[in-house]
Chains A and B, each alone.
Chain A
């Protein structure tokens, strides 16, 4: 029961993340959709797999290590991409840009 809910939630979140990458206007808002939806969707699918699988406990713990690594590395990668895009010169479509005030 709960694993079905987790699988459906993960699939729906991944779908909305893909839609967000298509619909949002610039790099930074697209990164919002990519990071959050990938992390949440992948983690809920992994949790569903942990609950569903009939395997020894150590193999399930491996899946939890995978979830931890995804949750730790995914925000870091999005941070690196956003900073690299800003340094390369991609202008964000924003109302206020305090980063440009401090780094003219």
Chain B
């Protein structure tokens, strides 16, 4: 199965800019540990994963009655917080939950990807 993992909010992680270099390195180390854990786990693969720009860099596109408008907001609530995402292949949700323990303690949302079959 495929899962999208959204990094929704800092949760228990201090703000990035407020951290010392060592603390930042420790956080980055946990991302690497997550990558390694996924690589070593059978049936698991990170298909994609990116960090996203801050909320004020996002663009909103809406089409109403054929009219396309492009604006700087209003954003869905999540965009202020959404920090990044992974697209994972994994056998089941418990494997995903277990591997995600490697990441810094962000608030996460796990959504299964709909299987077109």
**Are chains A and B native binding partners rather than an unrelated pairing?**
no
